[in-house]
A and B are shown apart, each in its own frame.
Chain A
């Protein structure tokens, strides 16, 4: 078992040898954090100080994508670990942390509690829509987005609603809505909101079988991220998946090279590397294998989607991929998860696709890739 093999120890060559580089974070944020930590140490009972400290850490997490900051945030709100009487702001932080570790039911419970107390809390509605969307509960997700209509600017509520509608059989309408929102409303909107809308639009266009429109939206979003020097892992992953499907592995390898720290992005790059016979393809796959093993030793389940994809696209182990994809399906039901089960089932055991096929017909998901796979599954049925 590779996890049990102890790595070699060594003594670095010289005292000047650099062993680690600390993340380059916003200095004003780190200064604030230092002050807040001191203040919390002096007044450990202050809700306000602890909440602000946690929120600052989560802000750092968003800047860097480094999960350690989630751990620091969780430590800051440790007094309310499972407390149902926790202040509303604590509930929102806790929901974020639970969602990050795919404990969607816990996240949902905290958000519902927060909304019972404060039905006009836009942040809670938006977070709830995301949790419900991931869980495949599209009607609930739609309700949460609808609640945003009177609470936020139209770009936010509109993007939220269009996204859910696109998954529920109204993809062309959703694309048109997003187009309208981006043209009319977003001129004054913050760049990261427009980036979000563009990401969703790219995904919808891709599912509709419009690669040019998809590429245009993705590139638009990436340009905004680059202009603001902001990292957007979700957008990069979506773009990379799209490009891989378009047969443009070279471009994926090039653009993702700076982000090997991210498991999801390294996975895309490793798939690209394999396709173009990159000399480091094997090394990338090994790094991923070791990271999955390390995560498993911790007892985390957050990599199932990536592991299933890895088993399918790198290891060529359809039986393992199917097992992982099914376990992932029990937690996450987004189009990417639909695709994984269908692909693995088609490669190993077509009958295993049944629950996912039922989900697709219930929700009315429109996705050209899903459609192709369903047709192939139909062929195997007919053959059998």
Chain B
């Protein structure tokens, strides 16, 4: 009969009286390349079970008791959490211990920092806090991958979660990179400036101290497309090589060289060194610009396939933006090409301005100094 009575009282609770809250821990991690930072909130109730906090046995857990067990808490926690990238384990360290409040009471908030030996998109997180003691414990993970947030739950049946950091719907990523490419031209002031340097003389070029207007619109258009596209192709090639790690140039000097190309293009408009085959110049300069931008993409840690697609999409964006700028510029400039206003009021001062800004950039980048606010 005794066991019989035992079940009765509890059955009444079936109506959904779920007092208190089951045990959860909150694991928030942010991942950037090989670096991990985060915070892990574990209920003091659970830490009492795992490492023992109530030293004086008065059923009250004080801040002093928590502090005395600080090392036991952090080492217990970290020994039940493992991050691996590929087959290499990331080194995790506790970074401070404070208190935080959740709906059911006080939790220890453990700061976490870590570094993985080598970036690999195959991330695995293993979690086995408390499971042998409390089968209803859950680890609530929130993983922030540079703004992309994923939530997942660890349970006794699911102690390990795998993330493919490169895994995303390829087309969505490509679209994102296409926009990045457009945006890169739009806000990348150096890109626009360089483009201006190359486009200004399309409709009217200097030859032996005289202005020679383009014969017809078709020639001018073909020339623009040739320049813009050869620039993009070179940009694409260099960016790909650098991102794949096949060439590795010191970024500061590449950046300085980018500035020099701007100066060269502008001076060439006024005192021409290269008359014909400007597209070749554009191609050479595209190589340098592409190498300069590689650091941005290589930080994102994308797998090879996604990377190729992303690079392609990115450069498609760059090309599109350049064509768009040229499409607005060309008709206006073409119709004005015979006017002295364009020749002396736009081409010469514009090129001088571009040359000046390019020069300042060169000095800034070469000397690692800030002269202008952009």
Contact = CB atoms under 8 A, between A and B. Distances in A.
To the question of whether A and B form a pair in one complex, the answer is yes
A226 interface: no
Contacts, number: 215
A300 B140 CA distance: 12
Interface in A244-272: 259, 261-265
A303 B18 contact: yes
Interface string A300-316: 10110110000000000
A22 B54 contact: yes
29 contacts: A10-B98, A10-B100, A14-B64, A15-B63, A16-B62, A17-B62, A18-B60, A20-B48, A20-B105, A21-B60, A55-B6, A62-B9, A65-B19, A67-B22, A71-B136, A74-B136, A78-B156, A122-B4, A123-B7, A156-B8, A196-B9, A196-B12, A233-B19, A234-B12, A235-B12, A264-B18, A287-B103, A300-B22, A334-B15
Contacts of A134: 14
B45 to A, nearest CB: 6
B65 to A, nearest CB: 8
B135 A74 contact: yes
Interface residues of A, number: 81
A186 interface: no
Contacts of A300: 22
Contacts of A287: 103
Nearest to B44: A20
Interface string B10-43: 1111111111111110101000000000010100
A193 interface: yes
B135 A75 contact: yes
Contacts of A66: 19-20
Contacts of B19: 64-67, 233, 259, 261-265
Interface in A81-129: 92, 96, 99-100, 122-123, 126-127
B305 to A, nearest CB: 31
Interface string A44-75: 00000000000100110110111110111011
Given A291-B103, A297-B24, 11 more contacts: A19-B63, A22-B61, A74-B135, A99-B14, A127-B11, A199-B12, A234-B13, A261-B104, A294-B102, A298-B138, A299-B138
Q: Is the interface of A mostly helix, strand, loop or mixed?
A: helix
B7 A71 contact: no
B149 interface: yes
Contacts of A297: 24, 140, 151, 153
A339 to B, nearest CB: 13
A9 B149 contact: no
Nearest to A82: B157
Interface of A: 4, 6-22, 24, 55, 58-59, 61-62, 64-68, 70-72, 74-75, 78, 92, 96, 99-100, 122-123, 126-127, 130, 134, 152, 156, 190, 192-193, 196, 199, 230, 232-235, 237-238, 259, 261-265, 287, 290-291, 294-295, 297-300, 302-303, 305-306, 332, 334, 336
Interface stretch (B126-134, B242-250, B281-289): B126-134
Name the residue in A66, A126, A295 with the highest tally of chain B Cβ atoms < 10 Å from its Cβ: A66
A22 B59 contact: yes
B100 A4 contact: no
